Amino acid sequence: MGDPKVSIKSPLVPSVGAIISISIAVLLYPHSAAGPLALGIWAVLLAESGLVKVPAGSGNRLSLAFIIGAAMPILLIDGTRPDLASTGFVYAVGLLILGIARVVRGDELEHVHADVMRLGVGLGVYAITYATIAEILVTGGGLAWVEAPWDRLIAFVGAGAVWFIIEAGLWAIMTTRERGLSWRYLWLLGLSDWMVMLSMMATGALFGFSWEKLHIWAVLVAALPYGFAHVAFFRYLEARRTYGQTIRALSRIPEVAGLALEGHSDRTSSLAVETAQDLGLTPSEVTDVRYAALMHDIGRITLNEPGILRRGFTDEDISRWGAEIVAESPYLTKVSGLVARQHEPYRRPGEQRDPSLPTASKIIKAASAYDHATMELGFSPLEGLEVLHRGAAYDYDPDVVVAVRRVLERRGVV
Amino acid sequence: MARRTTKIRNERRAKIVIATLYALSGLAVVAWLVIRESFPPIGLWLAFAVAFAFFDWRSVEVNDRMMMSPTIMVGLTAAVAFGPGHAALGVATMAALGAVSARDVKERRLFQPVANFGQLVVTAAGSSLVVEFFIRVALRGEPTFYWAWIALGSAVAAIVHASVNYAFVAFAVRTVFGQTVKPWSHLGELLPSYVTMGFVGGLLGATLVQTRVVLPLVFVVFIIGYHAFASFGQLREAHAATLRGFVKALEAKDLYTRGHTERVAEFSVLCAQHMGFTGTRLERIEWAALIHDVGKLAVPRDLIRKPGKLTSEEYTELQRHAHVVEDILAEVEFLRPMVEIASAHHSNYDGSGYGGVGHTNGEEPPLEASILAVADAFDAMTSTRSYRMALSQSYAFSELRRNAGGQFHPEVVEHFIAAIDETKRRYGSPFLNDPEEARRMAERGVESRG
């Protein structure tokens, strides 16, 4: 397979991460005000929470470390407010323990390294931004944390926002290198996790603020509201997965009834989704493409009417019947519109092209044609792509064809 | 006719009595509190009132048909934050905001808001007084136990709140509508969540007394959780709508089976409700009914609509197709139990017949499948098919009874008939009691059309 994947097989690279965190810890410890025992406990807590995964829609690996990480500068440790040095020390030691724990647990070395590094960069930026805002709010206070609770809340909000943007960006860059998808698509996908992140960070701050007064009771105060949000996310994601599965199952009914080519909608959908991701469509547009591509041949179920077979039908009829079936669900009106226009050519000879034709429909048309050529007509992948190239600018959008080629190249079939 | 009007008039009189009684007791409690307590700081009160109104207008479905609203928690947080001497008055006035619901405005109802005003005020005042008592105890006692007393107090207050509220509602429903609300069992299910919410509410309130900053943080986390639950509910509706739409679109093409699925779903739910099904089980049977015929939809129409009996080869072909489609749907984890029910509805009560995914080899099929089988058979008899006209409801009932114990589950048949009778609707032809006659009529119809 042509594309060389970025890999960090050599043990040198993870050791670099370990060395960085150890040196940060050694450098910072002499400056920190709090005692080693208290800081050590918080570092272990940070590592522990990093092991607990949180459901996120994008597929980004988020963990409860965001809660403890966000709480750190707000907490009261050993009777003093932790300064930048103690916070950095806790972060460095915590991440080191987390990395070791994950390697011991048997996670893949590359993943552990990437995740821990990303978390480390995010935490570092968070702490530094927090300190900077704190300094702006209370001038002349040096880098000491501010005391007034509302000032600390403002510092937390600003620092949290920066952390989140950096986290989503870093995740998108890493995943782009790993999976070769459009950077814009992934960044938007990462940002769509904002609610999960916000709920975790707010929980962290809540914990930090109430810890001072309530001590162990603060765990309850922070955990229960978060638990509610957590359960809600979990159920939402489960329902979304089920919804996708049901649509896929329905799309296969014409195939098992012998009215459409077996597996056609599945293959068309995966090619269309990858093409849409390559073209940098937004996450919700990609979801629409997935559903529309799965359902694009659902109109064929109508073909078991003997009368229709006698009368004959065109591709436009199939699109129209399919769109009618999809439109029965009030939540899929957009998808229905895409299905309705999936057979329209990019531009008819001698006419201006229709700018209202959605990119998603053009993608489905090309993906379906490619699958038809390779699976039904028995063409090779290269010949299938040639069909698209020949039809480019009339039947198919040239940009879409180029994107399909990139996807096929990435898959290693052409 | 005459009896009906008196009943409505009685209902109206009972409504007025209850509404006046409740509203007056609410006003009396407020008056008493105004004398006894002073109003909390207006800014704090407003912050809580906004939060309270927000959650009150948007209660979310947490578990199949179980609505949840953390207003109790907001109320208890406020009670602790207001402190003794302010809590009952502050919270009672806040609770009065919850008297008018979105539905009252939409349907222009008067009885519910007036009666609710009274019962909400009394309930809120009662639970806040409990909180006040416990705060006083906590302040007098050891500082180490302060938090424990607050937590315990608000948990107790939550129980008091739930019970008083329940008693008020149950009394009103019994007096006005003459129905008994299922005694306390529903409350028992909800009690743990009430206690938890009370517990957290008390602790949050006590934290708030010390640092006000936690207020926006708590609010943010709750709103996000709320939003996620709302999206979850919407997605679930979309899921059901998609499947329904799909079935409907496919059925619409066939004159004879049009609406069959929806009717079977309706009958099954009626019967299941009559048998005491609730929540997930009820939802499951509705879904099973919706997909019970999807298999058939993928079979060439000339086979299904063919007049007269199918040959045995044609019948096997039909079953094979139905099973392939069922297997596909069963791959969706969520749908699996529904597909099993839908599939088992071909099995007879005595264990004969055939099943698909939920194969029942000589065993009694699950109760849900028996319900579906009865509903399916009833609709088949009372609607017109290509080979026979619709039969009458009484014929269908007698046929169900005749086959009870063999093809059908005897108890389910009785529940089904009672449930249909309760709707006061009549299905099928008003007079056709003879299947032979119905068949002859259909043949004549086909001939004249052909």
The three-state DSSP-derived secondary structure of chain B is CHHHHHHHHHHHHHHHHHHHHHHHHHHHHHHHHHHHCCCCCHHHHHHHHHHHHHHHHCCEEEECCEEECCHHHHHHHHHHHHCCCCHHHHHHHHHHHHHCCHHHHHHCCCHHHHHHHHHHHHHHHHHHHHHHHHHHHHHHCCHHHHHHHHHHHHHHHHHHHHHHHHHHHHHHHHHHHCCCCCCCHHHHHHHHHHHHHHHHHHHHHHHHHHCCCHHHHHHHHHHHHHHHHHHHHHHHHHHHHHHHHHHHHHHCCCCCCCCHHHHHHHHHHHHHHHCCCCHHHHHHHHHHHHHCCHHHHCCCHHHHCCCCCCCHHHHHHHHHHHHHHHHHHHCCHHHHHHHHHHHHCCCCCCCCCCCCCCCCCCCCCCHHHHHHHHHHHHHHHHCCECCECCCEHHHHHHHHHHCECCCECHHHHHHHHHHHHHHCCCCEECCCCCHHHHHHHHHHHHHHHC
pLDDT category of residue B425 using cuts at 50, 70 and 90: confident
First-last CA distance in chain A: 10
pLDDT of residue B352: 61
pLDDT higher than threshold 60 for residue B447: no
CA-based nearest distance B155→chain A, Å = 14
Burial class from Cβ neighbours inside 10 Å (0-12, 13-18, 19+) for residue A10 reads exposed
Under the banding of pLDDT at 50, 70 and 90, the label for residue A93 is very high
* Cβ pair B328:A233 closer than 8 A: no
User: Are A265 and A247 in contact, with CB atoms under 8 Å apart?
Assistant: no
Residue A2 confidence (pLDDT) above 80: no
Residue A296 makes CB contacts below 8 A (sequence gap 6+) with A265, A268, A319, A322, A339, A342, A364, A368
- At A33, the amino acid letter reads A
Whether A256 sits inside 8 A of B196 (CB atoms) is no
Rounding to the nearest 10 degrees, give the CA dihedral for residues B311, B312, B315, B317. -110
Question: For residue B122, what pLDDT is reported?
Answer: 92
CA-nearest residue to B249 within chain A is A325
Rounded to 5 degrees, what angle do the CA atoms A326, B64, B186 make? 160
**Band of the pLDDT at A7, cuts 50, 70, 90?**
very low
pLDDT above 70: residue B6: no
Minimal-distance CA residue of chain B relative to A324: B249
| Measured distance CA(B266)–CA(B419) in Å, rounded | 11
Across A24-40, average pLDDT: 80
Which residues in chain A are closer than 8 Å to B318, comparing Cβ atoms?
Answer: none
Tokens matching residue A407: 């996807």
Q: Above 50 in pLDDT, residue A1?
A: no
Mean pLDDT confidence for B145-166: 87
Which two tokens mark B97? 């905001």
Query: Is the pLDDT score of A143 beyond 60?
Result: no
- What's the pLDDT tens digit per position in A233-276? 888 888 888 999 999 988 888 888 777 888 999 999 999 999 99
By C-alpha distance, the chain A residue nearest B323 is: A256
For the cut 50, the answer to whether the pLDDT of residue A36 exceeds it is yes
Is it the case that residue B298 has pLDDT exceeding 80? no
Cβ distance B249 to A324 less than 8 Å, yes or no, reads yes
Higher pLDDT, A177 or A375: A375
The reported pLDDT for the residue numbered B205 is 87
Report the relative pairing of strands A62-63 and A53-54 from DSSP bridges.
Answer: antiparallel
**How far A232 CA lies from chain B's nearest CA (Å)?**
5
Q: Residues B71-77: what's their mean pLDDT?
A: 85
Q: Please state, in angstroms and rounded to a whole number, the distance separating the CA atoms of residues A88 and A69.
A: 10
Give mean pLDDT, residues A157-161.
94
The pLDDT, as a whole number, for residue B234 is 84
Query: With 80 as the cut, is the pLDDT of residue B279 above it?
Result: no
From the centroid of its chain, how far is CA A317? 37
Give the number of other CB atoms < 10 A from CB of residue A321: 22
Predicted pLDDT at B449: 42
Q: Could you identify the residue written with the tokens 């007084």? A: B129
Let me know: does B360 contact B351? Beta carbons within 8 Å.
Answer: yes
- Asked if B224 lies within 8 A of A301 by C-beta distance, the reply is no
The pLDDT of B126-153, averaged and rounded, is 88
Q: What is the pLDDT of residue B421?
A: 87
CB A64 within 8 A of CB A52: yes
Q: Could you tell me if B226 and B68 are in contact, meaning their C-beta atoms sit under 8 angstroms apart?
A: no
Confidence class of residue B52 from pLDDT cuts 50, 70 and 90?
Answer: confident
pLDDT for the residue numbered A8: 47
SS3 A22: helix
Instruction: Note the pLDDT tens digit of each residue in B102-125.
Output: 667 777 777 778 888 888 899 999
Q: Which of A150, A218, A235 sits opposite B232 (nearest CB)?
A: A235
pLDDT of residue A285: 92
The dihedral through the CA atoms of B179, B185, B190, B195 has a sign that is: positive
For range B140-147, the mean pLDDT: 81
Asked whether the beta carbons of residue A152 and residue B213 sit closer than 8 angstroms, the reply is: yes
Q: By CB neighbour count within 10 A (0-12 exposed, 13-18 middle, 19+ buried), where does B322 fall?
A: buried
User: What pLDDT does B5 receive?
Assistant: 47
* Nearest C-alpha neighbor of B87 from the set B159, B153, B166, B169: B153
Test mutation, A54, A228, A262, chain B, max B CBs within 10 A: A228
State the burial class of residue B59 (Cβ atoms within 10 Å of its Cβ: 0-12, 13-18, 19+): middle
Q: What are the chain B neighbours of A210 within 8 Å (beta carbons)? A: 207, 211, 214
Average pLDDT, chain A: 85
pLDDT band of B189, cuts 50, 70, 90: low
Interval B145-169 mean pLDDT: 87
The answer, yes or no, to whether residue B8 has pLDDT greater than 60, is no
Cα B289 from chain centroid (whole Å): 17
CA distance B154 to chain A (A): 14
What is d(CA B314, CA B298) in angstroms, rounded to the nearest whole number?
Answer: 14
Q: What is the pLDDT of residue B216?
A: 86
Identify the three-state secondary structure at position A396.
Answer: strand
Q: Is B267 within 8 Å of B345 (Cβ atoms)? A: no
Which of the four pLDDT bands, split at 50, 70 and 90, describes residue A204?
A: very high
**Among A217, A208, A303, residue whose Cα is nearest residue A255:** A303
Contacts of A304 in chain B (CB under 8 A): 298-301
β-strand partners of A80: A77
- State the pLDDT at residue A274: 92
Given this model, what pLDDT does residue B385 score?
78
Is the per-residue pLDDT at A97 higher than 90?
Answer: yes
Q: Do A245 and B325 touch (CB under 8 A)?
A: no
The pLDDT of residue A9 is 53
Indicate whether A335 pLDDT > 50.
yes
How confident is the model at residue A12, as a pLDDT? 64
CA pair distance B52, B41, nearest whole angstrom:
16
The amino acid sitting at B265 is: A
- Helix, strand or coil, per DSSP, at residue A346: coil
For a pLDDT cut of 90, what percent of chain A falls above it?
34
pLDDT in tens, B374-412: 999 999 888 887 778 888 888 899 889 998 888 888 889
Partner-chain residue, chosen from B196, B210, B329, that has the shortest CB–CB distance to A249: B329
Q: 3-class DSSP state for residue A336?
A: helix
Q: Are B81 and B205 in contact (CB under 8 A)?
A: yes
Whether the pLDDT of residue A174 is over 90: the answer is: no
Note whether A63 and A49 are within 8 A (CB): yes
Buried-exposed string B370-386: b where 16+ CB fall within 10 A, e elsewhere: bbbbbbbbbbbbbbbbb
Contacts of B214 in chain A (CB under 8 A): 206, 209-210, 221
Return the closest-CA partner of residue B227 out of A198, A329, A54, A283. A198
According to DSSP, the residues that pair with B429 across neighbouring strands are B392
Q: pLDDT above 70 covers what percent of chain B?
A: 82
Residue owning tokens 């272990």: A44
Residue of B430, B95, B61 whose CA lies nearest to B231: B61
* Tokens 């094979």, residue located: B320
Rounded-to-integer distance, Cα B295 and Cα B138, Å:
66
Residue of B nearest to A224 (CA): B200
Looking at chain B, the whole-number percentage of residues with pLDDT higher than 90 is 11
Per the CB < 8 A criterion, the answer to whether A51 and A63 are in contact is yes
The structure tokens listed for A52 are 């607990």
Q: Which among A149, A226, A242 is the nearest to B333, CB-wise? A: A242
Q: Which of B87-96, B102-111, B297-306, B361-370 has the lowest mean pLDDT?
A: B297-306
pLDDT above 60 (res B356):
no
Mean of pLDDT over chain B: 79
State whether B221 and A202 contact (CB < 8 Å): yes
Top pLDDT among A305 and A347 is at A347
Question: Residue B360: is its pLDDT beyond 80?
Answer: no
Q: In this complex, which of B214, B235, B294 lies closest to A210 when CB atoms are compared?
A: B214
Specify whether the CB–CB gap between A381 and A413 falls below 8 A.
yes
Specify whether the CB–CB gap between B72 and B52 falls below 8 A.
no
Q: How many CB pairs under 8 A join A and B?
A: 184
pLDDT in tens, B221-259: 888 888 888 888 888 888 888 888 887 777 766 667 778
A207-225 burial: b if 16+ Cβ within 10 Å, else e: bbbbbbbbeebbebbbbbb
Look up tokens 């597909």; give the residue. B339
The answer to whether ipTM exceeds 0.85 is no
* CA A98/CA B204 separation, integer angstroms: 31
State pTM to two decimals: 0.80
Position with higher pLDDT, B307 vs B160: B160
Q: What is the pLDDT of residue A144?
A: 56
Asked if the Cβ–Cβ distance from B235 to A240 is below 8 Å, we say: yes
